[in-house]
Structure 1
């Protein structure tokens, strides 16, 4: 018999009754029932119940062993009595009568409980992540992550993609976040950068004549952590294709995403491919965000005309002050109570707005200060436009859309959840398409790239050359797209700009001269001068996909060894101060920031 185990702890069934077996694992919990001692023994595969009788020579030792100690036991498999069968365990019909017992590794008093998984402070969980990972939920999440990666790989390989690895030590990239820099020992004063994404390399792979590339790529960005974004590093499904249009990319990656979600969705519904296409402008109009949760059926509408020149002076004056100002309405079917409307008004105030106006509709009229001020005719027109009925309500926000839309988008989500309008138990996916090529940089009073500067503008060079005014430049759309699901951006991509003449002009509009383009992006630009195929692709965030499938709200719950919100590794105490010799080797001197002295 093997020194440690003949079976795993999740393997024993009735078919093994009568056999003598050996198991090794962790002491999950102990129970003393009238002299009989029960030990739940756990390993990676499951649990087995061990029974220690009082006359056993190992009873005293087994009684004293601490939870999470690693033990090796031998014994005979017996069937449980019918009244004590545990239907929740695959091994619940049998137990092992102890015949041998050895402590392989004794555990000290635990800083973090494993059994029962009670809530525990994050700093303790991160500091003792090896214990945290023994917990059933987190252990299951990490295993699901591995299965998701395998499913994605299988789907990509079957779609004709080839797995290539791109460099980790590279040059700084224009992805928009801060780089992690690595000092060079051989080149004093110079630095490598860890890749924010394999963007440039995957495009160069297409220029090199390979047709379909993918990898599960590590990416590094010096960004602050959020619930849906890891601090420091993350992984993404990265892919690129040659001789394609936008729909070709969708047809390649969309079925893989549907397949992956369906494989692990269980009873939850998944949007069938092809996914809906929602133009960016439509998404911002209806949902207030470019990553809408489509499980919520609420759609905002512009209702400015009903308030223009009305008796509600605040809204009327806002509309007169600036032609770009709008009044948006958020319908709230079933929300026609004063208490609910007051709660939503308080919500808006907590989000930094003065509040949200509202109307409550009954059988005969609209109620509330807004309805009273604009009168019954205009109120009825609002109700008709929003298709509301008795018992419904509507909320209103006014001003420049870019200033109130973030709150409006959150309000729409809250309204949908509180009124139980949001569909549960589903994954609703859609492509957001036709992103603006440029946006207005208010701080510098100039046109700037909206997203990826390497995207192909819709209309090509002709559209760029025809745009003379700032408004015309801002109206140019790009072949950019995002895949969204349940309020999260899963990934983004674009059909790339593969022509040097178009690239020069695109950067010129954003205020970058030819010399800047050649200095910063000379490697890719030169490659394009020697024959580049039309190409495009995208990248999907692995952690976000797994987070949704695991019904988790924090990405750290699906990451094996995450950093905390301050981008610290509490387990291995990173980042750390370098020694003088290490700094000397890479020709670096540390100058600490000056902090103001407090009186």
Structure 2
């Protein structure tokens, strides 16, 4: 049985006269009386079929959208060209049509712009994948995974799988647990990352490791976070801080060039403290720059002021600007004032209201130009109000602006390395210090002796780590550090975190023991593959669009009804 001689995308004008067999789903039906036009779709593309009713009346009487059919026919020149299709200059005149499988009534339209809401699309994800936007995202995901593997292999990285069923590790978030049937009352844990195992690989003499790996965190899901996610996990021996930043900057630049044909500039680098002081967040989006003003523009005396610079968006019309203003002013209980100005081509300012010229006199404008690095045709919004309220609604305001200017689809990418994070952070609920990143992060060299000698027990907030995060367009893409490779220091860090010797031995005994056998200096990084793809494709507002079978915002798979209850028999079998 031959289902097809060609796919629906490959036929062209030079194939006119060929007799072909095609199989696929019915995308559209147009009944013109004596003629029926069918858009046939398969994985590769769409082609138009022409059916003469009088020849195939019985067969075509009951066909509907998404019926799976096989057709025999001849390639003909199309009278009216469809320039939106690569096959738009031809059509297939059908001589035989068979229904391979029927389709029930669709829960939403299988179109690029579907009428399906997110819940329905997640429930019928297999239908959603038929839509070109989702299918193309998965193709992109496949291609970037290949590119990652090729790049890493060429740079002498070895891809090694690490265990999924492990013991519990202290990495910040909660672990998912898996009961053991054959070892009653004992549990495996699913890894939040392969952290310990990739460090053990370095101790094992593996010079460079990487893995595209599934990780699990039992935490509250968000639109940009899944409880089950994929990361590009990397580790290197005999490496220093700046070497890692340089290499992985090259890695990200390579991916953008290969996948998007975009040349990224040298990545900006800032300390964690400076980022917070200037932007008020540790994930700033440098495309539309949002900066704190009250401590930086000395002539502005309001309690709390935020400036939002929309670069090179002079083409925004007045109604769009008014829409942004109105959206911001909707929070009138926390906003004292909102004003905006345009920086013109001739390097003067346009004020929509004359009174703002008095408020923003020349000395302030000069400072604003320097502080925001304003360029001609930039638009600057200034928002005044109460700090805690503005910081709470600021993400909503930014998201609305991004939507109006459609910035996520503009192929503008602004990477930022953030360095010099604290090693510890104070947990108010637990009333103790916890690791800012994880407990295997090395402190700065100057602080190691102090930590080992117990000279800073009451001043841990001032200890900086050799860690780094990569943020692109306001999204944390990667995080890593130089690791501790000294046994005494690693035990001391655990103690500062409140772990007893018993706790250390129980949870990390095997790891601490491995340090006795010549542990090399090493460091690494992990990139969120889902987030990286979402940023590259402009899908960060809905990261689910780049994941084959995502969970919803409550951590549920509503297609398979997961998680689900266990039967009484299964509970008994697992000794629960």
Shorter-chain-normalised TM-score: which range? 0.7 to 0.9
Alignment CA distance shift 1:157-1:76 (3 Å): same
| 3-state DSSP of counterpart to 2:508 | helix
Per-residue CA shift, 1:489-519, capped at 9, x if unaligned?
1111111111121122223333334443333
How far did residue 34 of structure 1 move?
Answer: 4.2
1:212 aligns with 2:208: yes
Counterparts of 2:89 and 2:408, CA distance in 1:
41
1:36 aligns with 2:35: yes
Alignment CA distance shift 1:20-1:340 (3 Å): closer
Counterparts of 1:413 and 1:467, CA distance in 2:
46
2:409–2:537 CA contact under 8 A, matched in 1: no
| 3-state DSSP of counterpart to 1:426 | coil
Structure 2, unaligned runs of 5 or more: 342-348
- What pairs with 1:244-393 in structure 2 (closer than 5 Å)? 244-265=239-260, 269-272=262-265, 274-303=266-295, 306=298, 315=303, 330=307, 343=326, 346=329, 354-356=334-336, 385-387=367-369
1:440 aligns with 2:436: no
In structure 2, which of residues 139, 144, 148 is the aligned counterpart of residue 143 of structure 1?
139
2:160–2:209 CA contact under 8 A, matched in 1: yes
Give the alignment's TM-score, normalised by structure 1: 0.83
In structure 1, which of residues 58, 61, 85 is the aligned counterpart of residue 59 of structure 2?
61
Alignment CA distance shift 1:519-1:75 (3 Å): same
| Matching residue of 2:94 | 98
Counterparts of 1:25 and 1:220, CA distance in 2:
37
How far did residue 577 of structure 1 move?
Answer: 1.6
How far did residue 456 of structure 1 move?
Answer: 0.3
1:156 aligns with 2:152: yes
In structure 1, which of residues 527, 530, 538 is the aligned counterpart of residue 525 of structure 2?
538
Alignment CA distance shift 1:101-1:394 (3 Å): closer
1:289–1:406 CA contact under 8 A, matched in 2: no
1:80–1:94 CA contact under 8 A, matched in 2: yes
1:504 aligns with 2:504: no
1:575 aligns with 2:559: no
- What pairs with 1:547-566 in structure 2 (closer than 5 Å)? 547-552=534-539, 553-566=541-554
1:243 aligns with 2:238: yes
Counterparts of 2:399 and 2:53, CA distance in 1:
59
| Matching residue of 2:8 | 9
Q: Cα RMSD over matched residues?
A: 3.5
Alignment CA distance shift 1:439-1:114 (3 Å): same
Residues 421-430 or 288-297, more deviating: 421-430
Residues 110-119 or 560-569, more deviating: 110-119
1:118 aligns with 2:111: no
Alignment CA distance shift 1:404-1:208 (3 Å): farther
How far did residue 384 of structure 1 move?
Answer: 5.2
| 3-state DSSP of counterpart to 1:23 | strand
How far did residue 343 of structure 1 move?
Answer: 4.7
Matched length: 553
How far did residue 196 of structure 1 move?
Answer: 1.0
How far did residue 63 of structure 1 move?
Answer: 4.0
1:37–1:53 CA contact under 8 A, matched in 2: yes
Per-residue CA shift, 1:197-237, capped at 9, x if unaligned?
1111111111111011011000111222211112x311111
- What pairs with 1:519-538 in structure 2 (closer than 5 Å)? 519-538=506-525
| 3-state DSSP of counterpart to 2:161 | coil
Alignment CA distance shift 1:124-1:444 (3 Å): closer
Alignment CA distance shift 1:469-1:248 (3 Å): closer
Structure 1, unaligned runs of 5 or more: 316-326, 589-599
Counterparts of 2:403 and 2:48, CA distance in 1:
42
Counterparts of 2:408 and 2:40, CA distance in 1:
42
| Matching residue of 2:345 | none
| Matching residue of 2:440 | 454
Counterparts of 1:439 and 1:509, CA distance in 2:
11
Alignment CA distance shift 1:359-1:41 (3 Å): closer
How far did residue 356 of structure 1 move?
Answer: 4.9
Alignment CA distance shift 1:224-1:442 (3 Å): closer
